[in-house]
Amino acid sequence: MDSPTSLTPTAAAPAATEPLVIMGAGLVGTLLALYLTRRGHPVHLYERLPDPRKAGLREARSINLALSDRGWRGLAGVGVTDDIRKVGIPMYRRVMHDQRGQLTYQPYGQEGQAIFSVSRDSLNRTLLDLVEAKPDMEITFGQKLTQLDLPARRLHLRDVASGREYDVPYQRLFGVDGAWSAVRGAMQRLDRADYSQQYLEYGYKELTIAAGPNGTWQLEKNALHIWPRGNYLMIALPNLDGSFNATLFFPYEGSLSFDSLRTPEEVEKFFGDVFPDVVPLMPELDTEFFNHPTGSLVTIRCWPWSYQDSVLLLGDAAHAIVPFYGQGMNAGFEDCTVLDRLLDDLGEGDWGRVMDEFERLRKPNTDAMAELALYNFVEMRDRVADPRFLLQKRIEAKIAAQYPAKWLPLYSRVTFSPDTPYAEAWAAGQKQDAIMARLMPHIQVEEDFEKPEVQEMVKSILTE
């Protein structure tokens, strides 16, 4: 985790009475609210959408999320890990399915290390219940931000149901309202504000692998399943009810694309040819393919993340990324822990300094995480089906076991090493890729690693 000085916690700040306003009651917004109320602040939380606990599942079902060590650290900071474990399933490895239905396996880390499959909706509901139970907490759903007067520190909101419009003054505002943040939209109109959005030529479609008899899992439960097919892929994460939430990542246009599959017959033939082992487990394939929306995949970068000492962006509002490293939520949760640490270290007497330091620390790391997510898309789509890549991963595991002080795999740095900043992990990963590019021409089978000349080469490279 990023820290301005050290990783040693300081004493908690004294209780404060200043009301803080959060725009956005998603995962990061609700966790941030728990951190701020823990510091003694009354918090007013506004959300554009209806209360998901009352409205039921939203029309656009979300990708299941992978909760890893950075996210668990964020939850632990406000003492809610036990509540969240109830809605998660540990996944210890990837299971790759080839076109003939044959399986290969790749562990995520060392023995016992896992990432957790969690439903976004279940997690959001749980966090909302925890937030609502806190004193001095006010949550108002169905409130759309239509105008933000930054100099005057005033929100102009519209109640979606009634159409009533009204103003809300604030001293501190946290924009945690997602990739299409209205708070960020207002900040983008400031002088010298940078903003970019980069779409992949791929979209995604949410599908379901049905539960078996009595709620059993028809695929290995404690694993993330991948069907890599070169130009596209499908993944599946387990749900508590025995089903799997499957996601097809597929080009928008082309000879094989969302645009080319226009009839149930075309969908059934494509899936039968390309994903034959799983089609019998997807009884609602036709209905879901045509009824579920096609989501887009975007990377968003912006600067600055703050305005004076009054507004700060966190989560996807500041750094939305594509989902292929499973770190979007984890990075947002880490935002909360970094901000909390800064408030401990720097105090709440100078919010301007806290906000400046926050964006200075987080921006390089979230930019690195954006690159890592794009990098992992190619790996999951193309390389996990390549025998040479799988051999390389086994060799990397041998190097890590032989030289634990000198080699930690990139995935472990990102996923299981929350004290390692993303930028540091990405730099180390690029260095390791260069080393493996030198080493792998000398290794054709796993046993080649034990050859004296290969052992000497490894030792020489690692001591350069």
Q: Could you tell me which residues are beta bridge partners of residue 145?
A: 157
Give the tens place of pLDDT for each residue, 257-272. 999 999 999 999 999 9
Using omega within 30 degrees of 0 as the cis cutoff, is the peptide bond preceding 280 cis? no
Average pLDDT over residues 308-324: 97
Average pLDDT over residues 211-224: 96
pLDDT of residue 52 exceeding 50, the answer is yes
% residues pLDDT > 70 (the chain): 94
Average pLDDT over residues 337-362: 96
Count CB atoms within 10 A of the CB of residue 186. Answer: 19
pLDDT of residue 230 exceeding 80, the answer is yes
The pLDDT assigned to 386 comes to 85
The pLDDT assigned to 55 comes to 63
Give the tens place of pLDDT for each residue, 85-135. 988 999 999 999 999 999 999 999 888 999 999 999 989 999 999 999 998
Average pLDDT over residues 402-409: 94
The pLDDT assigned to 380 comes to 84
The CATH fold assigned to 20-91+106-195+302-378 is: FAD/NAD(P)-binding domain (3.50.50)
The pLDDT assigned to 173 comes to 98
Give the tens place of pLDDT for each residue, 384-397. 878 899 899 999 99
Give the tens place of pLDDT for each residue, 445-456. 999 999 999 999
The pLDDT assigned to 8 comes to 35
pLDDT bin (cut points 50, 70, 90) of residue 464 is: confident
Which residue type is seen at 433?
D
The residues, any chain, with a CB within 8 Å of residue 35's CB and separated by 6 or more, are: 77, 78, 336, 339, 340
pLDDT bin (cut points 50, 70, 90) of residue 11 is: very low
C-alpha separations of 75 from 41, 126, 329, 430 in Å: 19, 12, 11, 30
Give the tens place of pLDDT for each residue, 356-386. 999 999 999 999 999 999 999 988 887 887 8
% residues pLDDT > 90 (the chain): 86
Q: Return the domain boundaries, the chain.
A: 20-91+106-195+302-378, 198-296, 386-462
Write phi, then psi, for 400 (nearest 5 degrees).
-60, -40
Average pLDDT over residues 188-197: 94
pLDDT of residue 196 exceeding 60, the answer is yes
Q: Could you give the strand order of the β-sheet that contains 143-149, starting from the edge strand earlier in sequence? A: 143-149, 154-159, 165-169
Give the mean pLDDT of the chain: 92
pLDDT of residue 3 exceeding 70, the answer is no
**Can you state the angle between helices 387-402 and 422-439, rounded to 10 degrees?**
110
The pLDDT assigned to 238 comes to 97
pLDDT of residue 48 exceeding 90, the answer is yes
The pLDDT assigned to 2 comes to 53
